[in-house]
Amino acid sequence: MSHDMLNRKIGRSEITASAIGLGTWAIGGWMWGGTDRAASIAAIQASVDEGVSLIDTAPAYGQGLAEEIVGEAIQGRRDKVVLATKCGLVWHVQQGNHFFDYAGQPVHRYLGRASIQHEVEQSLRRLRTDYIDHYITHWQDPTTPVEETMDALQELKQAGKIRSIGASNCTAADVTAYLAAGQLDAVQEEYSMIKRDIEDQFLPLCMQNGVSVLSYSSLALGLLGGRIGPDRVFSGDDLRRENPRFSQANRRKVAALMEEIGPIAHAHSATLAQIVIAWTIQQPGITFALCGARNPEQARENAGAGRLRLSATDLQSVSDAARRHLTDLDA
């Protein structure tokens, strides 16, 4: 049975967005073997047509490319989109902490006031909009006081350039520091059936303080999508090529999990990936699940997960199967 798209509020803001969000890291091409601009635009537009309002991007995804593609795709549809992007991974200055090199150029983690003010203008230009619904610190910068970062973000909010504030790739201590400095509406962290470490302390802290959680890698870079078998070969700059999580032994365990949850998928007329995503957004403390899509078919499949409602029995069965097959996966 299909329901309406599940929508939820972003923290204490007045913003409501679809529980399924479109993540655009792969659309930027970097570490994903390049990108197809036309297919990416079609994927974004298909997501919006299917009721996915939350679109998450970042300057670091292809050094502006993902933002440019999103900006092109949402022309004429801006009122249907809750747009999230990020700041804090910079290449226009060499301040903060060196993080990695991209095309031979250094990228730093930096969240100083002037840098944030520069970054938001660049993102607004690439996204072809005059406001960002949810603005997120992409990675945390230990060289800048959280108070300075939050002051800059709150100034942007007062100016109407951003509507809510988020943080990503942070610790419970980071969340506490942000909350002490202002209104933190949401955090974005990796969470899936095979990476559940935030359940113990991080999620309860967020729930206690009205902070939403946007989970990313809900399908674990595709490992839990039901389509990557033990014999799949990854090539080029595909980040999964040397990832131990994608070992053949792990993929055999995942295949056994998929076989076990198959009957639940069948009962809901759903795909295996949709069951995994639906399970994710029904876990305590998980508000949104960001799912990547590089073509309209993937976009429509992800959106379908937001219309599923798994019963308590379904959720327990999937959790039990995950515990049996995934607890001893290679890291």
CA angle 36, 41, 46 (to 5 degrees): 125
DSSP for 145-186? -HHHHHHHHHHHHHTTSBS-EEEES--HHHHHHHHHHS---E
Q: At what angle do helices 65-73 and 37-49 cross, to 10 degrees?
A: 50
* Cβ neighbourhood burial of 209 (10 Å; 0-12, 13-18, 19+): middle
Q: Which residues contact 200 (CB under 8 A, 6 or more apart)?
A: none
DSSP for 219-272? TTTTTTSS---TT----TT-TTTT-GGG-HHHHHHHHHHHHHHHHHHHHTT--H
Any catalytic annotation for residue 61?
Answer: yes
Q: Phi/psi at 139 (nearest 5 deg)?
A: -135, 150
Residues composing the chain: 331
Q: Which residues contact 228 (CB under 8 A, 6 or more apart)?
A: 222, 246, 251, 254
Q: How far apart, in Å, are the Cα atoms of 260 and each of 7, 145, 251, 322?
A: 29, 48, 14, 9
Residue 135 near residue 156 (C-beta atoms within 8 A): yes
Residue for token digits 């938001």? 120
Q: What is the CA radius of gyration of the chain?
A: 19
CA distance 46 to 238: 25
CA distance 26 to 40: 9
Q: Which residues contact 155 (CB under 8 A, 6 or more apart)?
A: none
Active site residues: 61
